[in-house]
C-alpha cells in the first residue's frame, strides 16, 4: 500500500507551470536551474509543488524572463499545440488564425511559422507589427473587415478565441477544409459538428 502512494526512488521533483527552483538533476536540467512547464493531468492548481515525470513538458527559463512570465506563457502554447496536432499540416498550407494577439493565437502563429504555413492573422491594425514579427504573412483587421466574407480560401481556420462559428467560416474554407474552435460554440454545436461533418466528403 505504501508503494502505491509513495513516489518511486527514480522519480524527479520538478516544479510545473507555476515554475520554481528545480531540486534534483533531470537529464540536461541541473540542480538549481530555473524551470517551467505545464501539466494538465489532474487538478493541482492550488499546490505549491507537484511531482511530474522527468520526461514531461519542462524547460529551463531563459535569462531575463521571470518566474511569473514563464508560468503565464505555458497555457496558450499548450492549447495552440493541441490545435495544430489535430490536423495534417504541411508546408505552404493556408491557415487563418482568428484572435492572433491572444495567448493561444499568438502561440499558434509562431508554431505555424515554424511549420512553414501560409498564415493570415485576424487582429486589430494596432498590433500589426507585432503579429507580422511572429510570422503572419497577411493581416485582417476585424474592426474594419469581416474575415468570414473574404474571397480567400483556407485549408484551416483556427478560431483561437471562439468568437466565430463553423457556419460563418465554411465559405472561406477550401473543399475538405477544417475549422477548429477554442470554444464549444452556440448550443454546443461544435461537439455535434465534429461528428457530423466527416460524413460529408466535400464538407457541408
Residue range 181-195: mean pLDDT, rounded: 81
- CA dihedral sign, ordered 16, 45, 112, 204: positive
* Neighbour-count burial of 196, counting CB atoms closer than 10 A to its CB (0-12 exposed, 13-18 middle, 19+ buried): exposed
Backbone angles phi, psi at 107, to 5 degrees: -70, -40
pLDDT tens-digit map of 13-24: 444 444 555 544
Which range, 26-40, 47-61, 173-187, is most confident?
173-187
Residue 200's pLDDT band (boundaries 50, 70, 90)? low
Query: Cα–Cα distance between 98 and 124 in angstroms, integer?
Result: 11
Mean pLDDT is lowest, of 1-5, 52-56, 85-89, 174-178, for 1-5
Mean of the per-residue pLDDT values for the chain? 82
Residue 120's pLDDT band (boundaries 50, 70, 90)? very high
DSSP conformation letters of 75-91: HHHHHHHHHHTTS---T
Statement: 75-199 belongs to CATH 3.10.20.740: no
pLDDT of residue 40: 75
Helix (H, G, I), strand (E, B) or coil at 173: strand
Residue 72 has pLDDT above 50, yes or no: yes
pLDDT of residue 21: 54
- Angle (CA) 97-176-89 rounded to 5° is 50
Sheet holding 34-37, edge to edge: 20-21, 34-37, 58-60
Report in angstroms the alpha-carbon separations of 91 from 11, 44, 176: 39, 38, 17
pLDDT tens-digit map of 173-186: 999 899 999 988 77
Report in angstroms the alpha-carbon separations of 122 from 8, 88, 135, 185, 190: 48, 22, 13, 19, 21
pLDDT tens-digit map of 141-174: 999 999 999 999 999 999 999 999 999 999 999 9
Q: Is-contact 115 94, C-beta < 8 A? A: no
Residue 99's pLDDT band (boundaries 50, 70, 90)? very high
- CA dihedral sign, ordered 120, 126, 123, 147: negative
Residues of the chain with CATH 3.40.50.720: 75-199
Amino acid at each position: 500500500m505504501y508503494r502505491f502512494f509513495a513516489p518511486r526512488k527514480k522519480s524527479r521533483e520538478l516544479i510545473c507551470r507555476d515554475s520554481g527552483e528545480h531540486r534534483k538533476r533531470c537529464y540536461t536540467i541541473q540542480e538549481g536551474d530555473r524551470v517551467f512547464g505545464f501539466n494538465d493531468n489532474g487538478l493541482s492548481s492550488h499546490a505549491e509543488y507537484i511531482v511530474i515525470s522527468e520526461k514531461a513538458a519542462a524547460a529551463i527559463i531563459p535569462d531575463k524572463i521571470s518566474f511569473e512570465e514563464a508560468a503565464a506563457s505555458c497555457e496558450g502554447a499548450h492549447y495552440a499545440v493541441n490545435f495544430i496536432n489535430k490536423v495534417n499540416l504541411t508546408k505552404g498550407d493556408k491557415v487563418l488564425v482568428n484572435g492572433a494577439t491572444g495567448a493561444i493565437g499568438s502561440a499558434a502563429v509562431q508554431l505555424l511559422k515554424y511549420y512553414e504555413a501560409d498564415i493570415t492573422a485576424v487582429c486589430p491594425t494596432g498590433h500589426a507589427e507585432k503579429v507580422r514579427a511572429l510570422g503572419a504573412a497577411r493581416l485582417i483587421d476585424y474592426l474594419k473587415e469581416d474575415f468570414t466574407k473574404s474571397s480567400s480560401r483556407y485549408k484551416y481556420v483556427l478560431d483561437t478565441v471562439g468568437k466565430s462559428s463553423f457556419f460563418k467560416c465554411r465559405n472561406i474554407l477550401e473543399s475538405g477544409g477544417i475549422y477548429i474552435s477554442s470554444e464549444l460554440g452556440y448550443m454546443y454545436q461544435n461537439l455535434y459538428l465534429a461528428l457530423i461533418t466527416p460524413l460529408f466528403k466535400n464538407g457541408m
